[in-house]
Amino acid sequence: MRAKLSIVIAALMVTGCFTGGGSIILAQTSKEATEEIRVCAKARNMSEADANTAVSVLSDLVAKGIPVEHALDVVKSAINRNRSGQEIASIARSLGDTVEKEGSAKEIAAITMTCLEKGLREREIAAVMLKVEEAMKKDASARQLRILTKDLLDEGSDADGLSAAIESVGKSVEQGFSPEESRKSVALVALKGLKDGLRGEALAAEIRKEAQLGEGGRGETERHRERVRQTSMPEEVKDKIKTPEGTAKSGGIPGDIERRGR
């Protein structure tokens, strides 16, 4: 009976490795998570050295306050995308340092997961984490940054555009706007730029240019944002901005993620 149960558990772990699911159910302790990482690494033909690094990364993330299930999801996501042990360690270092300084472990881990899933490399993720940290020091909400990250990356933004958008949210909050309003306003500009075909530094420059229009004071910022709101936008983008979470309820618009607290 025990042998059959072990086989079932091992099969579930392998399934979870390839689907990205099953972590919360199977890995409730660091020991179980470690075993799941080893099963996942073996399924991906990862070298023993890289697998050992992945296990060490998990321990480091948990030690820095990240819940084991979220730390496991990040490590598995990196393994599934054939990242080396060195790359996984670099990504985890950026994530762990940000959580240590700013808290909000669940939300920041989710931002990292989204970046991994969309193919950002370790240097790009490190740059995004730096902007997240800077924005949160200005009282930006990790929850709103998580929503922004998914919405922009789902629409094809790259690391340059995302980093500029996160930076702009932080500046907006610093000027006195709420985290949610700041996210919506910046997303509106960024999504329009993406629709117009802007990418990379061109997209980042457009986001920064729009943000700079508000640096003269709150009154000018409000007038600028009203002009932005009245700009002709695709209906799906308008729907995205109107909904409380920045997500549409139907039609496959990005950002349809679990709605939780800050």
Q: Write the secondary structure of 38-70 as one string of H (helix), E (strand) and C (coil).
A: HHHHHHCCCCHHHHHHHHHHHHHHHHCCCCHHH
97 and 126 housed in the same domain: no
Q: Do 157 and 32 have their domain in common?
A: no
For residue 169, being part of any structural domain is answered with yes
Check whether residue 127 and residue 253 sit in a common domain. Answer: yes
What phi and psi, each to the nearest 5 degrees, are found at residue 155? -90, 5
Query: Position 35: which residue type?
Result: E
Q: Round to whole Å and give the CA distance between 191 and 171.
A: 18
What pTM does this model have?
0.74
The span from the CA of 32 to the CA of 61, in Å, is 15
Residues 192 and 160 in one domain: yes
Say yes or no: 51 and 176 in one domain. Answer: no
142 shares a domain with 91: no
Same domain (yes/no): 128, 97:
no
Select from 49, 75, 103 the last residue of a domain: 103
Q: Is residue 113 part of a domain?
A: no
- Give the integer Cα–Cα distance in Å for 89 and 123: 12
Q: Is residue 222 part of a domain?
A: yes
Residue 130 and residue 86 share a domain:
no
Q: Are 241 and 188 in contact (CB under 8 A)?
A: yes
Q: Which of these three, 71, 103, 135, is where a domain ends?
A: 103
The answer to whether residue 25 is domain-embedded is yes
Range of the domain at 52: 1-103
Per-residue pLDDT in tens (0 to 9) along the chain, 262 residues: 444 434 434 444 444 464 444 444 444 688 999 999 999 999 999 999 999 999 999 999 999 999 999 999 999 999 999 999 999 999 999 999 999 999 999 999 999 999 999 999 999 999 999 999 999 999 999 999 999 999 999 999 999 999 999 999 999 999 999 999 999 999 999 999 999 999 999 999 999 988 777 554 444 445 545 544 554 455 555 555 545 454 433 344 344 333 334 4
